Structure 1
Amino acid sequence: MSDDDRDGTPPDLWNTVDDLWKWLEADQPVGGREGLLLRMLKLSEEVGEVSEAVIGATGQNPRKGITHTWDDVEAELCDVVITALVALRTLTPQAREVFAGHLSRVAERSGTAGAP
Structure 2
Amino acid sequence: MTDTSLPDVWQTIDRLAARFEDHSTLPREQRILLQLLKIQEEAGEVAEAVIGATGQNPRKGYSHTWEDVESEICDVIVTGMVALRRMNPEAPDVFARHMSRIADQDLTEPLPHQGRE
TM-score normalised over the length of structure 2: 0.83
CA deviation after TM superposition for structure 1 residue 11, in Å? 4.9
Give the aligned length: 105
Deviations 1:11-40 (A, max 9, x none): 510100001111111111423211211111
Q: Which residue of 2 is the match for residue 19 of structure 1?
A: 15
Q: Which AA in structure 2 matches 1:50?
A: V
Aligned ranges 1:1-116 → 2 under 5 Å? 10-111=6-107
Q: Which AA in structure 2 matches 1:65?
A: G
1:22 and 1:35 mapped to 2: Cα distance?
12
Unpaired stretches in structure 1, ≥5 consecutive residues? 1-8
CA deviation after TM superposition for structure 1 residue 94, in Å? 0.4
1:52 and 1:109 mapped to 2: Cα distance?
33
Moved over 2 A (4+): 29-32
Q: Which of structures 1 and 2 has the bigger CA Rg?
A: 2
2:16 and 2:106 mapped to 1: Cα distance?
31
